[in-house]
Structure 1
Amino acid sequence: MASAAEQLAANVNWGAFAKADELKKRIWFTLGALIIYRLGTYIPLPGIDPAAFARAFNGNSQGVLQLFNMFSGGAVQRMAIFALNIMPYISASIIIQLLTSVFPSLEALKKEGESGRKIINQYTRYLTVVLAAFQAYGISVGLQGQAGIVTNPGIFFSISTTITLTGGTLFLMWLGEQITSRGIGNGSSLIIFAGIVAAFPAAIVHTLELGRQGQLSTFLILTVMVMAIAVIAFIVFMERAQRRLVITYPKRQQGNRTYDRQTSFLPLKLNTSGVIPPIFASSLLLLPTTIANFSAHSGGGGILATISLYLGHGRPLYMILYVVLIVFFTFFYTAVVFNPTETADNLKKHSGFIPGIRPGERTAQYIDKVLMRITVLGAAYLCLICILPEILVSYAAMPFYFGGTSLLIVVSVMMDTVAQIHGHLQAHQYEGLVKKARLRGKKR
């Protein structure tokens, strides 16, 4: 089955694209919003010495801050007002989705439709404020724990830093919602995508500079480039991989019309969870560092500081926990977003069935069995892709941006964005056909 990108390349009418004013407005709005986001990553946090922080950050180039810096588009390295990026909002969204499957009241809200979705979105925003404020306060305490970074340490700096960083996250949350509604969609994903892509040129220059200085061999650089291309091709292949279950609808009569027996497919993606497991796993692994910074400033935190040290990139404990969390969230998130029982009930209501499988509970068990098998492959695929950056950073001193996690996010978001553009363009073409049909009808 052709992907949205292939359909767009094969079927796009560039004349219709030029006439699609609504689509062009959405694209320009999205570009303008992303430019505003990139400008915000260069506005420094008030009350810090950027040069002193840059020295401290470079001294921790192999730490967890580097991964967070990649997601924020370099805002952490510059300690900008968007240093937290939109990660607290993504974490809050996933937590609310997970809680939906635990608390019946939230599940009932989810089934209420648009009104319930608005209430759940409001809960997500509230939780975003809590998570962002907690992380921002941890950052303010950690900055004051480093000598020379904060010009005037004290409670005023902690309050102003917490408000500024939390406000930056809330602004990005609002900006992402605007991109989703007024732009081409996928607002939160596009913000992370823009941050990663913006750092690609600097990462390439840095890699070539390491090669010029002799720290990296030419063979290793070429190998990494070829590996990156191979990883991109592998990601595209796996993200398009599906297990299609045959669904049969029997012959039926509706009014005076008789419908023949029909056959369709129920597509089950190999990677149903998308990029959520690696993003949420990496975000969760950042939590001990935030707590360790808070405890270190208060005079304690020896155990937490030790745990934070062992959770550095390339450490065996970090890799093991990263893989375990990815596998856990892959299965958990797949179970949340896809309900085999609900799917089987919908098929039964519409008289659809899987050949050889009894409708109802047997169908739900069969779908769950198939979904479990392909999720095992999906989890293994995500672990393989996401463990690459740890190996490259630990043993080859390569930038994070050539790792599998960043490439997975970039490729997945790009494929979704192309699908969104293709959908908007198709809608515009259908509107044009409807208008032409109406004009012909009036002439007759």
Structure 2
Amino acid sequence: MNRELARRIALTIGALLLFRLGTQIPIAGVSTSSLLPTSALIARLSLFALGLVPYLTAAIFVRLLSVVWPGVSSLERSGESGRRKIARATLGLTLVLAAFQAYGIASALTSIPGLVRSPDGWFVAAATASMVGGVFVLVWLSEQITRHGIGNGLALILSAGFLISIPQDVSGIVGLVQSGAISGYLVLGHAVFWIVTVAVIVLFEEARRNIPVTFGARRVGTRYLPARNAVLAIKLNSAGFLIPVTVAPWIFFLPLTFAGLVLGGDHPAVAAVYGHLQMGQPVHLMLVSIAVFVLAFVYTAYVVDPEYTAKCLAARDGAIPGVARGEATADYLDRVVSLTTVVGAVYLTALQVIPEVFDLYGIGLPYSMVINGGAVLVVVCTALDIKAQVRDVSLTNPGGVRR
């Protein structure tokens, strides 16, 4: 292990320890000693109570704008200055979302008897500021990990949050098995299922559709670059997980919310539709599956833009053997990406509906809605990213020169 790798690992561990410490510091003004056993979850309200949810929501919203609004997309591709503007806009939206959510939580806490020492406006303001500050501390920690540590900071903090809950889930399941509430064979079946799922995720995330590309000889400034061969690697799951899965429920819940505002939340039609759209219901399972599948295609078209890629290849004197440059290259890439995305979309949809399928057939365990396919995907991808970065840093000499 070289010094650079040791420094990066130490910084990453230190940042994660700060994250863990922040989850144990309660909001100022909350009297945790007066909590009832039935309200144990409230005792976990901490400076990091909001987590990274406001930031991720803001980032997803800005990314969706770049999909539907060409101006934002061109700004993102305009260079470092454009990306800084998008980052500032994301942080500004994060502030609004975090403040709104924190104010709602703080106001709700004041209505619980005996929980808050002084349930007045000062507590609401202090609690709101504390939780909003916690969000930005987490954003800062994630950026430090990404820039100076090992792995993607956002994914690593999310993974740490998932992994922290595993011991408690395992303890609860062991207790249920010992009491006879659930079968040991069911638990064994789940263990085997998740081992197989992790293997499948590793296989899919490391799989690539490699398209051969040739670059002609050209001169860049005073340098002469000879002709060379390369590959254009396309992931099976280019859409990732967060955007398709996060946006999918918006497609039918936003219209339902609007209908509830117009007709009233107690309207029989609204109540009936809302009942069918609950987690674990067949209608919800079907609609979410369709939405995730379609959104995987939509977002992949943005991430892997065939026309933009064809233009970049032509600008660098690159071509796909046997395919004419320009529109023919864009059409070829579009066909390849579409066929590849079919496999990726099916894979992504299957991971998303795992907990609902378990509950639908009555074979779920208490952890199913927390440790689901998406959480496992995030953890596995984070581990693969760390593995790749450790290898790269280990093979790099001081000064950035590869060994």
- TM-score norm. by structure 1 comes to 0.77
Q: Report the equivalent of 2:200.
A: 234
Cα separation, 2, equivalents of 1:305 and 1:158: 33
Amino acid at match of 1:36: L
Cα separation, 1, equivalents of 2:246 and 2:200: 22
The change in CA–CA distance for 1:369 and 1:122 in structure 2 (over 3 A counts) is: same
Q: Report the equivalent of 2:209.
A: 243
Which of 1 and 2 has higher RCO (CA within 8 Å, sep 6+)? 1
Say if 2:98 and 2:132, in contact at 8 Å, map to a contact too: yes
- TM-score norm. by structure 2 comes to 0.84
Say if 1:98 and 1:336, in contact at 8 Å, map to a contact too: no
Instruction: Report how far residue 204 of structure 1 moved.
Output: 1.6
Amino acid at match of 1:277: I
Say if 2:23 and 2:46, in contact at 8 Å, map to a contact too: yes
Question: Is structure 2 residue 86 aligned with structure 1 residue 125?
Answer: no
Amino acid at match of 2:8: R
Counterpart of 2:318 in 1: which secondary structure? Answer: coil
Among candidates 147, 157, 164, match of residue 198 of structure 1: 164
List per-residue Cα deviations over 1:212-246 (Å, max 9, x = no partner): 11111111011000001000001011111221222
Q: Report the equivalent of 1:88.
A: 54
Question: Is structure 2 residue 14 aligned with structure 1 residue 32?
Answer: yes
Instruction: Report how far residue 142 of structure 1 moved.
Output: 4.3
List per-residue Cα deviations over 1:258-316 (Å, max 9, x = no partner): 956x443211101012232366348969x98xx99xx9xxxx96579987776543234
Instruction: Report how far residue 55 of structure 1 moved.
Output: 2.0
Give the share of equivalent positions with the same residue, in percent.
35
Q: Report the equivalent of 1:167.
A: 133
The change in CA–CA distance for 1:253 and 1:372 in structure 2 (over 3 A counts) is: closer
Counterpart of 1:271 in 2: which secondary structure? Answer: coil
Instruction: Report how far residue 196 of structure 1 moved.
Output: 0.9
Q: Report the equivalent of 1:423.
A: 392
**Unaligned residue ranges in structure 2 (runs of 5+):** none
Say if 1:54 and 1:78, in contact at 8 Å, map to a contact too: no
Q: Report the equivalent of 2:26.
A: 44
Cα separation, 2, equivalents of 1:305 and 1:428: 63
Amino acid at match of 1:353: A
Instruction: Report how far residue 54 of structure 1 moved.
Output: 6.0
Q: Report the equivalent of 2:374.
A: 405
Counterpart of 2:319 in 1: which secondary structure? Answer: coil
The change in CA–CA distance for 1:276 and 1:124 in structure 2 (over 3 A counts) is: same
Counterpart of 1:199 in 2: which secondary structure? Answer: helix
1:103-182 correspondence to structure 2 within 5 Å: 103-144=69-110, 149-150=115-116, 152-182=118-148
Alpha-carbon RMSD: 3.5
Cα separation, 1, equivalents of 2:348 and 2:13: 30
Cα separation, 2, equivalents of 1:256 and 1:177: 35
1:327-342 correspondence to structure 2 within 5 Å: 327-342=293-308
Q: Report the equivalent of 1:62.
A: none
1:276-291 correspondence to structure 2 within 5 Å: 276-277=242-243, 280-281=246-247
Say if 1:228 and 1:402, in contact at 8 Å, map to a contact too: no
The change in CA–CA distance for 1:332 and 1:145 in structure 2 (over 3 A counts) is: farther
Cα separation, 2, equivalents of 1:283 and 1:187: 26
Question: Is structure 2 residue 38 aligned with structure 1 residue 55?
Answer: yes
Question: Is structure 2 residue 22 aligned with structure 1 residue 22?
Answer: no
Instruction: Report how far residue 189 of structure 1 moved.
Output: 0.9
